[in-house]
Structure 1
Amino acid sequence: MTDYFELRLPPQDGISSLNFIPQTNLLLVTSWDTSVRCYDTTGNVQRWQYNHDVAVLDGCVQDKSRVFSSDISGRIKSYDVASGVASDIGSHEKGVRALAYNHESQLLFSGGWDGILKAWDVRDPHQPKEMHQHNLEAQIFTMSTTANWLVVGTADKMITIFDTRQMQQPVQKRESSIKFQTRCIRTFIDGSGYALASVEGRIGMEYFDPKEQQAKKYAFKCHRANEAGVDVVYPVNTIAFHPIYGTFATGGCDGNVYYWDGQNRKRLFHLKHYPTSISALAFNSEGNLLAVASSYTYEEGEKDHPNDQIFIHTVNEKIKPFGK
């Protein structure tokens, strides 16, 4: 018996994001084929779907009754699961690559290729309100939020950090510790910092507290291979933290997924090799499932590539940190 299976009827174009709906095994999937789909991973069936007019770049979840999605034209949508109705929240002038919902503040954050960060009050689904707007002066590629923190990564390799209780201005703006472009940021489960992935096969571990940042921050190489005597470096596209143990998984353009123990600076193990790039990863709330999107990300330009696939892996004891 294998410890994984493939989801039936995946999207028909690049998979842009994966998010498990909290306290369920329902998986939200957004795609360049314009769809936003929800799969029941227990029964391996699609539960529901709605669509944008253009490619969908990101999605996030409020709870099991409401989800959000954004597209390449800049539109942000809200979907009510019970009624099956999708409605517009607002928009940016360019594509919205990053969405994040903060449960403490009940704010939805959107980051656009127009360099604008917006905060939306979405408590009333019929009257969403734009509460804050910040010009970060470069395309926003990624963001992550936990507790009272919001971390935003931009094309100029700057990291902007906000306290979600005081969104009038950022509390920190710092240059990434990695000299190459940021592709993904995800916050630690204890709220002390974040992991940052770059196009140059590196992960940076950084901290919100400036003193901790100087004392504890570090970076390590990953998703690299020696091919015919040449050291080949692959972009790291995605990071997902285990919700209980705080260890994490990374996925890269090499088609590999690795598990890491960041606290002890150790690689734990890796999963099977996938047919093409890993575009997204997500753990469920219980931490016993990991969703993996094997989906070509066009890092080598237009070429023939395998169909997009989503694999659901059972997570075993190997994901525990060393000594646990």
Structure 2
Amino acid sequence: MAGLFSAASSSSNPTQGDLSKDVELKEPPKDSISDIAFSSAAELLAVSSWDSAVRIYEIDATGNSQGKAMYTHEGPVLSVAWSPDGTKIVSGGADKAARMVDLQANPNTPTQVAAHELPIKCVKMFTMNGTPMLATGSWDKTVKYWDLRQQQPVGTLPCQDRIYSMDIRDQLLVVGTADRYLNVVNLNDPLKFYKTMQSPLKWQTRVVSCFIDASGFAVGSIEGRCAIQYVEEKDSASNFSFKCHRQNDTSNRDIAKVYSVNDISFHPIHGTFSTAGSDGTFHFWDKDAKHRLKGYPEVGGTISATDFNRTGNIFAYAVSYDWTKGYAFNTPTYPNKIMLHPVQGDECKPRANPKKR
């Protein structure tokens, strides 16, 4: 892409990021934004929200955006994902259903493709032996696998508790549940856990996100901490956790305000990653160098969801109420928008000569 989202030099401060060129997405949802996802095939962004709708936006080289399609659920939509080829969108919601649209056929008319006994919190699409597949994670404590040519699930994986977050990269599936359980699944053998552990973080899991090489995953929690976990025991010496999304109390140095890590997104080219939280900030990190690349000022509200586009030159973040303080704080004046941040210069590039693991 040329124009606004072309490469440019970063700010003079090596660790302070610049938000001045961020562009606001036009006509965002009217209610809280639960999830955002870029297509792997085009500059299209899918957005799910608590207003029971999924919206698809097209973004041009200058950062201009326009609505391309929209469809609805019968309740708040909690998750959205693209098929690997970028032609289909699937979403899951509080109506206990997953729905899918084909952008090339009828982008405004969804088809129900999955069902659970309780709300569907997570949806992810993948390919198994050349067949498009859907994985759905629900508060009914199960992951179900769906062959989209059939009405019934082809397999069910019982989990320990409600599913809060789920991610897939290649053959790696990671499921984060209530009570801090983390389940690692090899999709070549999808009906059993390859490994189960409890999170190294002491408080509730908010998000899990797979490395781009599928060798491990990152975990974010409500305590303002992030953990880096490798799948194989031989790499366990590289596991670590760190504090983020915390603010020191100006009146008392011994007190820190702790904020939830709401989302973690990996850069598709460099393998570096972002964290975003309830403190209204996002940061870019290099896990191999154990180094923060950039930190950004507060954006005026909590950040509920993030994603990089397919080339990694756009970072989208949703500024939207995340319900961490209950319904009383969701006021009519609370911001509800999606910003497009042009990734410039070395913002997301790994630190030079990182320590090899």
Shift of 1:129: 4.0
Equivalent residue, structure 2, for 1:92: 116
Is the CA contact 1:251–1:279 (under 8 Å) kept in the aligned structure 2? yes
Equivalent residue, structure 1, for 2:336: 308
Give the whole-Å Cα distance in 2 for the aligned partners of 1:257 and 1:172: 30
Question: After the TM superposition, which residues 256-275 of structure 1 pair with which residues of structure 2 at under 5 Å, given as runs?
Answer: 256-275=281-300
In structure 2, the CA distance between the partners of 1:116 and 1:307, relative to structure 1 (3 Å rule), is same
Q: State which of 62, 66, 69 in structure 2 corresponds to 1:45.
A: 66
Is 1:318–2:347 an aligned residue pair? yes
Is the CA contact 1:73–1:93 (under 8 Å) kept in the aligned structure 2? no
Counting aligned pairs with the same residue, the percent is: 33
Give the whole-Å Cα distance in 1 for the aligned partners of 2:239 and 2:293: 20
Question: After the TM superposition, which residues 31-180 of structure 1 pair with which residues of structure 2 at under 5 Å, given as runs?
Answer: 31-42=49-60, 43-62=64-83, 63-81=85-103, 82-84=105-107, 85-104=109-128, 106-122=132-148, 124=149, 127-180=150-203
Which is worse superposed, 127-136 or 75-84?
127-136
Equivalent residue, structure 2, for 1:11: 29
Cα deviations by residue, 1:34-92 (Å, 9 ceiling, x for unpaired): 11000112131111100111100001000332110011121111111122321111211
Question: After the TM superposition, which residues 190-201 of structure 1 pair with which residues of structure 2 at under 5 Å, given as runs?
Answer: 190-201=213-224
Give the whole-Å Cα distance in 2 for the aligned partners of 1:150 and 1:198: 19
Give the whole-Å Cα distance in 2 for the aligned partners of 1:285 and 1:129: 32
Give the whole-Å Cα distance in 2 for the aligned partners of 1:234 and 1:168: 35
Equivalent residue, structure 2, for 1:181: 204
Give the whole-Å Cα distance in 2 for the aligned partners of 1:138 and 1:308: 31
Cα deviations by residue, 1:191-244 (Å, 9 ceiling, x for unpaired): 11000001100000001102312x111000000001232311101000000000
Give the whole-Å Cα distance in 1 for the aligned partners of 2:151 and 2:303: 34
Shift of 1:310: 0.2
Is 1:251–2:276 an aligned residue pair? yes
Equivalent residue, structure 1, for 2:241: 219
Equivalent residue, structure 1, for 2:42: 24
**1:164 is matched by which residue type in structure 2?**
L
Secondary structure at the residue paired with 2:227? strand
Output the aligned Cα RMSD: 1.4
Give the whole-Å Cα distance in 2 for the aligned partners of 1:95 and 1:223: 29
Structure 1 gap ranges (5+): none
Secondary structure at the residue paired with 2:235? helix
Secondary structure at the residue paired with 1:156? helix
Secondary structure at the residue paired with 1:318? coil
Is 1:293–2:293 an aligned residue pair? no
The alignment's TM-score, normalised by the length of structure 1, stands at 0.95
Shift of 1:3: 2.2
Is the CA contact 1:8–1:45 (under 8 Å) kept in the aligned structure 2? yes
Give the whole-Å Cα distance in 2 for the aligned partners of 1:103 and 1:224: 39
Is 1:231–2:231 an aligned residue pair? no
Give the whole-Å Cα distance in 1 for the aligned partners of 2:151 and 2:82: 16
**2:319 is matched by which residue type in structure 1?**
S
The alignment covers a number of residue pairs equal to 320
Higher RCO (CA < 8 A, seq sep 6+):
2
Task: Name whichever structure is richer in strand by fraction.
Answer: 1
Secondary structure at the residue paired with 2:154? strand
